[in-house]
Amino acid sequence: MAQHPVRRRGLVGRIPSPGFETFGGIFGFIYTFLTGNVLMALANAPLVLCLALVADPLAAWPFFLALSVTIPPSLASLFASFQALNDDGAATKPVASFLRGYRRGFRRAAPLGLAAVAVLLFLGMDLAIVQPMPAGAVLVPVIVVASAVALSVAVMALAGVVLLPTAGLKSLLKASLYLSVQRWYLSLAMLVLLGIIAAAALLQPVLGVALAPAPLLFVVWSNASYAYSAALRST
C-alpha cells in the first residue's frame, strides 16, 4: 500500500512539462498575429474606413477593389513577419519585421498589386456584362475560374517576394502560375481562407480586420512556403 504514492510520483516525473521555449513560442505566434492584424489595418486604413462607413460595399465593388491596391504590399510585409517568426521564434519583433518587409518588398509587391487589381477589375466588369447574355452560362464559369487563378497567382507571387528576394517579377509570376496549377489543392484552400477573411471584413469591418486575417493568412503563407520549398527541392 505504501508503494502506490511513489509509483504515482514516478509516472508524473516521466510526463514532459511545457518549458519556457514552448510558452515563448506560443506567445510569439499570438503577439505576431495580433500585431499583424493592427499593422494590416493601419496599412489599409482607407479601405477599412470605407468598409465601416458604406452600408453595402458589394454594390460599389469596383471602388473597393481599387482601394484594395494597398493590400499586396502590406500582405508581403505580413509574410515577412511570418518568415521572421519562423527564423527567430520567440525572439521575433513583428513590428520591425513588418516595416522592414514593407520597405524591402514594396518595389516588387506594389506592381504585382496593381496588375492583380487591374486584372480582377477587368474580369469583374466582363462578368457583369456577360452575365445577362445568353452565352453567360458558358462564359461566367470561365471568368470565375480566371479570377480565381489570377488571385491565387498574385498571392503566391507575394509569398515569393519574401521567399525569393532576388527573383525578378517575371520569374515570380511564372513560378507562381506553375505552383498554383500544380498544387491546385493548396490554391483552393487559399481561396477559401481569403473568402473567409473577405466575408468577415464585409460583415464586421472593424472586428473582422482586428481578429480574422493574420491567423488565416499564416496558413496561406505556410502553404505557399511549402509549395516553393517542395519545388526547389525537386529541381
Domain limits for position 229: 22-234
Whether 9 maps to a domain, the answer reads: no
In this structure, the chain runs to a length of 235
Return the pLDDT at 17.
42
Task: Tell me if 35 is assigned to some domain.
Answer: yes
**Predicted confidence (pLDDT) per residue in 205-235, tens digit:** 777 777 778 899 999 999 999 999 988 887 6
pLDDT in tens, 32-73: 888 999 999 999 999 999 988 988 888 899 999 999 999 999
Instruction: Name the domain count of the chain.
Output: 1
172 found inside a domain: yes
Sequence-distant (6+) residues with CB within 8 A of 68 are 44, 47, 117
pLDDT for residue 168 is more than 80: yes
pLDDT digits (tens, 9 = 90+) for 79-129: 999 998 887 655 568 899 999 999 999 999 999 999 999 999 999 999 989
Mean per-residue pLDDT over the chain, rounded: 85
d(CA 41, CA 81): 15
In a domain, 17, yes or no: no
* pLDDT given for residue 82 in this prediction: 92
Decide: 180 and 152 in contact? Cβ < 8 Å. Answer: yes
